[in-house]
Structure 1
Amino acid sequence: MKLLNASEGKASPPGINVETDDLDNLNHCTQGAKTKMPNIAGIIKSLQNIMRKDQGVSGDAQRIEQLGWMITLKILDDKDAELELLSDDYVSVIPSELQWRSWAADSEGITGDALKDFIDNRLFPALQNLDVSFGGDSDGTSGVNRRAVLIRDIFSGTNNYMKNGTIIRQVVNKLNEIDFNASEDRHTFGDIYESLLRDLQSAGNYGEFYTPRAVTEIMTEIVNPRLGEKVLDPACGTGGFLTSAIENIRKQDVHSVEDLKVLEETIRGQELKPLPFMLCVTNLILHDIEVPNVVNGDSLNREYTSIGERDRVDVILANPPFGASVTDGVETNYPAQFRTTESADLFLLLMIRCLKNGGRAAIVLPDGSLTGDGVKQRIREEFLTQCNVHTIVRLPNSVFQPYASVATNLLFFTKGEPTREIWYWEHKLPEGQKSYSKTKPIQKSEFDPLKKWWNSRTENAQIWKVSIETLKENGFNLDIKNPFVKEEETSSTTAELLQMLDDSFRKSSELLSELKNALE
């Protein structure tokens, strides 16, 4: 999907007609849009260097959160300005005196202690307590304004760490060099996020695993969500899968304003952590989703049996968190035979439950979720009974470098009929390349052979299939190695050894818990 480019007169997706006067106004307000987009990585680097001068900001995590809310507020204002030009009736949910244009856009505007006082004592309190009712009704009888709810939730989980108002003004002025509405690069926001994420690697618990764009796009293209289908990512992070789904649907099906509204209503996500949630909402707004249907909260923190037909969706695309434990007590939402503290396993159960019969999904799972005894085996049996897991793409360990070196898999399945056989595709590294890295990430073109093979399946040295009978005999173990390749001794990295040790401790803990429950 191409973002709004006012200089080209494209104020709407293909097939949507907008009044010429509106375009003239929009072009007038974005003069210079044809100017080449400034280097995003360079601007982010400059911003972080400026912020290091402020004593209130300590470490990468705080710098990124600080930049996050500023970028979000600027993008919201840029989109508000666009919507005001396209509709005389549009009124922003952000009070005029709090809009970016009112206090930040003028490079010679408010600064120093006055700016710091405004942000801490007026801006944040007002946005954290934003009126979310339509029409400003205090009793909420007019219903809830979802855009206002999103903004309130974003700022409720965000802080202003900077203490020097003069440095804040420098950061704000640097951000004003970016005009998101005039960008000719449809991946502008992705570039910003990737720049931020490189610094998150050392940010402790704030760190997130970024799913490479090549992976999100190939998974989306194969599942191929279409207009009118409900699409869900229950652990959406910054919205990579959701934006891939939006682009996939738009290029095939969106031809009118009505189509765009249907698209907006059918793209759904949920994210627990405040920073990725904020970036996800902003990402979707930049993809012309006026009011993103994204919730800030834990998808797992809901009674499993309460998920009924009205909650179910047609398509799930997700890379659920793995290698971590869930919030205390969350596992009690699930049936006793499936209770575990491993996040990836509970997310798998959740996604099975949320998918309609006939619905299809593509998800990322680590090797640890494909094997194991006890509760893990029972979850896999439920998975293979409820769903037709027809394809597993085995990825090299280094796909998620530099964020993680865990071996991962892409699982493609449909719900409503049991698995009879699974095709395995072993993804090979490009010839002459020993691993993926930050400078040599996985490329989408590497999946071209997979797409060609998809509808005419044959076995070869990197493709094999396994029957459900074999899987049953093997305890529903899905970690099936390539039978055409003689396994050689391999050395493990320190990170991999630590991960294996952590998995071993977790399995021991789960076994002890099961024994304790049995004794009781």
Structure 2
Amino acid sequence: MTNNDIVQKLWNLCDVLRDDGINYSDYVTELALLLFIKMEHENTQSGILSTHKLPDYARWSVFTNLSGINLLNEYRATLLKLSQHDDPLIAAIYADAQTRLREPRHLEQLIKSLDGIDWFSAQKDGLGDLYEGLLEKNASETKSGAGQYFTPRPLIDSIVALMQPQPGETIQDPAAGTAGFLIAADTWIKANTDDLYDLTEQQRSFQRNHAYLGMELVPDTRRLALMNCLLHGMEGDDAGVVHLGNTLGSAGSQLPKSSLILSNPPFGTAKGGGGPTRDDLTFTTSNKQLAFVQHIVRHLKDGGRAAVVLPDNVLFESGVGADIRRDLMDKCNLHTILRLPTGIFYAQGVKTNVLFFSKVSQAATASTQNVWVYDLRANMPKFGKRTPFTRGHFADFEAAFGTDPHGSSPRMDQGETGRFRVFGRDWIKERGDSLDISWLKDDSAEDAADLPEPSVLAREAMDELNGALAELEAILAELGEEVAE
């Protein structure tokens, strides 16, 4: 059996959860609580883990030897005890965990189905990769809404390959989701160090416990991230690799400076008092992505590098948006922008880019001299189930980017008919510091029938209007005028 076959079998178990009245959005969280116990069992049985991380009362054999209401009661009690466990990482994974299962027969069915899976085949690729596949499957089912925190794997792998994470570096994702970027960085380093065996024991310990750090706002998403990391051999500190908190609040200001930051911040404008509350950011904005850009610039070490997925509005938003872009180009060398195809994210209709930059210093000015733009959006196929988006679609961009993660490899401007062009800082300044740069005629542009759903268009319009309103309120506040409620 391939990993895809096993992922499909796991996803089919969601039919059992649906029969017990569990909401679509809770499928993976519910399944993961039981699945993690099973995976720990399989890793220990096969010798991949020398010791079992879970206590005796949470062993798989406990549940296979029970049935009926005794089984359900024991499972509920186990989740509660795990949430109060002395090991802070286990306690974090099962924090506030409760099963929504009400029928003992459904829990029995899940356990028997998990026992019937060919785990030997699954372990050839690693149980962490299997778990990652389940998260991706969940994200691809748009009804679950999981696409908001899942970045397509081909995009993550391409970004990590270009950024070339190194042993000994601190790597951060301030909007970690299910930890895809951090796990891909760890996988890259392991692939280039013979699974860390080329390192000293001290270096290996650093990689396992101190190299990676993420922050995630949503508790259930963070739970999935912690499980994902642990199954990939990444333990982190006492709170795990991914900490629970709001990067745009006081918790974010406590994150350390890092050598490499990889992230796909959440899209949208904050509503209902949920905006950035940090007082250490230079520019006040209700636009979450613009706030994340400021965090990333601030929390990169001098000489550090970043690759960040951002929607189009970050490139052209006026007012404070232009101020933040200028600040970015002063303190960092923004060397490359990749315009991504539409339709590759599970949140349809979103137009995104990847910004690649290196930090010069917090006090620097005019660090960016030229910005290279690669247009992978114009004249691209419409991606979906019939035309899947793969790592191969990045091959030409990766070749054009070059081998230097700081963007200093020799490059060639491909001219008005090519996809890769360079634009000087003075030319960008004349355009009001807009980075929304395109030149190719897009023959594959969507016709009216293929436009995003009206709700998507309405949401985009509302986000822009809210951003403009926030800027006007800031101007009134500076003038000493009260803003009417």
Tell me the TM-score normalised to structure 1 length: 0.79
Residues in 2 aligned to 1:384 and 1:69: alpha-carbon distance in whole angstroms: 44
Provide the C-alpha distance between the structure 2 equivalents of 1:231 and 1:489, rounded to a whole number of angstroms.
38
Q: Which residue of 1 aligns with 2:243?
A: 295
Looking at structure 2, the residues matched to 286 and 336 of structure 1 have their Cα atoms a distance apart, in angstroms, of: 35
User: Who is 2:372 aligned against?
Assistant: 423
Q: CA deviation at 1:356?
A: 0.3
Q: 2:465 aligns to what?
A: 505
Which of these residues, 147, 168, 187, is aligned with residue 228 of structure 1? 168
**Structure 1, residues 265-295: CA drift from partner, whole Å, max 9, x if none?**
2022222212322222222222222455221
Deviation at 1:124, TM superposition (A): 2.3
Distance in 1, matches of 2:123 and 2:441, equals 49
- TM-score of the two chains, using structure 2 as the length reference: 0.85
Which residue number in structure 2 is paired with residue 450 of structure 1? 397
1:518 is matched with: 478
Equivalent runs, 1:96-495 vs 2, <5 Å: 96-97=56-57, 99-104=58-63, 106=64, 109-120=65-76, 122-131=77-86, 148-178=87-117, 179=119, 183-186=123-126, 187-199=129-141, 201-203=142-144, 208-253=148-193, 254-256=196-198, 258=201, 259-264=203-208, 265-291=210-236, 292-302=240-250, 311-325=256-270, 328=273, 331-335=276-280, 338-400=283-345, 402-416=346-360, 418-428=367-377, 434-454=381-401, 455-460=409-414, 461-482=418-439, 491=448, 492-495=451-454
Unaligned runs of 5+ in 2: 402-408, 481-485
User: Match of 2:404?
Assistant: none
| Aligned residue-pair number | 451
Contact preservation (8 Å) 2:235, 2:241:
no
Q: Residue 246 of structure 1 aligns to which amino acid in structure 2?
A: D
Gaps of 5+ in 1: 1-34, 132-147
Whether the aligned pair in 2 keeps the contact of 1:304 and 1:334 (CA below 8 Å) is no
Give the % identical residues. Answer: 26
Cα shift at 1:483: 6.4
Displacement of 1:476 in angstroms is: 1.6
CA displacement, residues 344-375 of structure 1 (integer Å, 9 cap, x when unaligned): 11111111111100001111010011111222
Q: 1:38 to 1:238 in 2, by over 3 A?
A: closer
1:508 Cα offset (Å): 3.2
Q: Which residue identity does 1:296 align to in structure 2? A: L
Q: Secondary structure at the match of 1:232?
A: strand
Q: What CA deviation, in whole Å up to 9, does each residue of 1:34-77 have, x standing for no partner? A: x87682243124311222222xx332012222112122232234
Contact 1:464/1:482 (<8 A) preserved: no
Distance change in 2, residues 1:336/1:278 (3 Å):
closer
Distance 1:117 1:349, change over 3 A: same
Residues 100 and 482 from structure 1, CA distance in 2 versus in 1: closer, same or farther, beyond 3 angstroms? farther
Q: Which moved more, 1:314-323 or 1:477-486?
A: 477-486
Amino acid at match of 2:392: S
Letter in 2 for 1:202: K
Give the aligned partner of residue 67 of structure 1: 31
Bigger Cα displacement from structure 2, 65-74 vs 384-393: 65-74
Question: What RMSD, in angstroms, separates the aligned Cα atoms of the two structures?
Answer: 2.8
CA shift, 1:229, in A, is: 0.8
> Following the alignment from structure 1 to structure 2, what is the Cα–Cα distance between the partners of residues 476 and 434?
30
C-alpha separation in 2, matches of 1:151 and 1:207 = 26
Q: CA deviation at 1:79?
A: 4.0
